[in-house]
Amino acid sequence: VHDDGWFRVTVTVPLEQAELAADLLWGHGTAGVEERPDGAAVALLGGFADGADATAAHRALQGAGLVAELQRLDEAAIASDLDAWRAHATPVEAGGIWLVPPWLAPPDGVDPTDVLVLDPGRAFGSGSHPTTRLVLDLLAARASTAGRVLDVGCGSGVLAVAAARWGAAEVVAIDIDPAAVAATAENAERNGVHDRVRASARPLASVLADEAPFDLVVANLLAPIVRELAPDLIAATAPHGQLIASGLLADRWAEATAALAPLEVAEVAEDDGWVAVVLAHEVAAAHR
Ligand SMILES: C[S@@+](CC[C@H](N)C(=O)[O-])C[C@H]1O[C@@H](n2cnc3c(N)ncnc32)[C@H](O)[C@@H]1O
């Protein structure tokens, strides 16, 4: 499959296999999954910004014995997929903050200081995925005292913008996807924290070349990417700092944290088969 553009992997499964199929789509980097009920079955549509990821997801689904289809989308189909997602979007609460798309109102009674207006566009990070919510929960307890924060794989900018809202002095947000960098900058502006969020497509290694290590590093990436970036993630974490790694599958997270040694695991949080892990250079014995 040619790599440019936008791709859709559709898999139709009996209801009881929907979670497995959705996990395979998320596990291969889909930007979002739409569910269309179809009698006793459900069609899952996964959108991909990367043809290689879409192809890998398609193969994995077929390898699991499921009937899947891979399509390259034209502009009209992209617009209709995005619109379909927009029509189903709802406000999401995580870490005590409400993530609300710009075209919806926050739920009644919610304090405006507890609302982030967030348009993910084509980037990952509406807050509807457990991996994002797990990090927000862990971040909520740390951001106000965090000082300088690095968000690796910022997607929509949800974590970077939340960290700034919660009081981080400065947030460096990076993503290899230019659409994510643009979404992060727009969402920072929308929430009045653009003076403290610097979004760019700089590779992690180049950020490290001219920035001091960070007080808090958040990395909601998939396990293979965490492993690939492990040496730089370790170097990015200040001696007194913490790294929050997410996007790890519950039965396999230890493979990723092993690659992050000498960082040690301080805390593990789990939601719906996904795990986020807090790591530090030296975890006090009492917290092990
Ligand atoms: C699962 S999304 C996380 C988005 C957002 N931070 C959240 O928590 O919802 C992972 C993001 O990492 C980006 N990414 C993948 N590999 C990367 C790399 N080597 N360096 C920086 N970003 C990367 C992807 O483009 C994607 O936007």
Most confident of 31-40, 76-85, 114-123: 114-123
Mutate to test the pocket of ligand 1, among 139, 150, 161, 176 (most ligand atoms within 8 A of CB): 176
The pTM of the full predicted model, rounded to 2 decimals, is 0.80
pLDDT for position 224: 84
The mean pLDDT of the chain is 90
Atom number, ligand 1, closest to the C-alpha of residue 247: 1
Poorest-pLDDT segment among 35-39, 100-104, 110-114, 174-178: 35-39
| DSSP string for 20-73 | HHHHHHHHTT-SEEEEEEETTEEEEEEEES-HHHHHHHHHHHHHTT--EEEEEP
Atom number, ligand 1, closest to the C-alpha of residue 174: 21
* Pocket of ligand 1, beta carbon within 6 A: 123-125, 131-132, 135, 152-155, 158-159, 174-177, 180, 204, 220-221, 225, 229, 247
- By alpha-carbon position, which residue is closest to atom 18 of ligand 1? 176
pLDDT for position 83: 67
Q: List 32's β-bridge partners, or say none.
A: 47
- By alpha-carbon position, which residue is closest to atom 15 of ligand 1? 153
Q: State which amino acid sits at residue 210.
A: D
User: What is the Å distance from ligand 1's center to 221 Cα?
Assistant: 5
Please report, for the chain, how many H helices and E strands are present, in that order: 9, 14
CB 268 within 8 Å of CB 240: no
User: What is the Å distance from ligand 1's center to 168 Cα?
Assistant: 20
Q: Is residue 171 scored above 50 in pLDDT?
A: yes
The radius of gyration of the chain from alpha carbons, rounded to an integer in Å, stands at: 19
Q: State which amino acid sits at residue 270.
A: E
Instruction: Find all residues with CB under 8 Å of 159, minimum gap 6, and list them.
Output: 125, 132, 135, 136, 139, 151, 218, 220
- Other beta carbons within 10 angstroms of residue 283's beta carbon come to 16
- Asked, as a colleague might, if the bond just before 91 is cis with ω within 30 of 0, I would say no
pLDDT tier for residue 1 given thresholds of 50, 70 and 90: very low
Task: List Cα–Cα distances, 62 to 17, 57, 59, in angstroms.
Answer: 13, 9, 5
- Dihedral of alpha carbons 142, 143, 145, 150, sign: positive
